[in-house]
Amino acid sequence: MTGTPGVGKTVLARKLAKEFGLGFVDLSRVVKLRRLYSKYDRLRRSYVISEELVRRNWARIVRDGAVVSTHFLVKGLLLGPGTVGVVLRLDPVVLWRRLRARGWSRSKTWENVESELLDICYFDAVRALSRRRVFEIDTTSKSKSRTFREVLGLIEKRPKEHVQRVNWLSIYDPVELGRRFGVG
């Protein structure tokens, strides 16, 4: 389960883990607890993941199968053939409001809004798993239960082609959004 911070992936991943009787892993939390980071970025108030340390510890992190919630995918992880990636998406304006309400700085919020605008989590997931095993869901106007049912359907049926593609750039001009949020 991936997506920019604030899209609802942790809540959904916990529920999916329970539904399938699997472990739940919040990779950001594991990185902090096991010190799988290279440094702390004071400006962004976040840890910089050490991809090498995550790769070395991956088998212990996921053990016998798990639903993983993360906003970053580490290159070169050994992901089994049954692995499916679900990318949760959220309207960038809604994401801006949500992250600012959490007390995030303008710059850190904008960095994540830009990531959402540019499909970064989607492209990382496709790079790690292939287009056939990655599904996107726009959660903007959906309840948690509706999103959960939709994800369950995708996982259980594994359609050969999932046609939903989210394209915020067809709706928003990043320069205009930046000005609107006072960051451009």
- Which CATH number goes with the domain that contains 49? 3.40.50.300
d(CA 69, CA 12): 9
**Best CA proximity match to 19, nearest among 112, 155, 161:** 155
Q: Is residue 49 part of a domain?
A: yes
Inside any domain, residue 3:
no
Q: Is residue 157 part of a domain?
A: yes
Helix (H) or strand (E) holding 151: helix 144-157
For the chain, list residues with pLDDT below 70.
76, 78, 158-163, 184
Can you give the residue range of the structural domain that contains 95? 9-180
Distance (Å, whole) CA 1 – CA 151: 10
CA pair distance 71, 120, nearest whole angstrom:
9
pLDDT score, position 159:
64
Q: Structure tokens of 163?
A: 């046609």
Would you state the pLDDT for residue 101?
97
Whole-model pTM over 0.85: yes
Q: Does 95 reside within a domain? A: yes
Whether residue 2 is contained in a domain is answered as: no
Alpha carbon distance 147, 167 (integer Å): 19
Give the number of domains in the chain: 1
pLDDT tens, residue by residue, 17-52: 999 999 999 999 999 999 999 999 988 888 999 999
Residue 4 lies in a domain: no
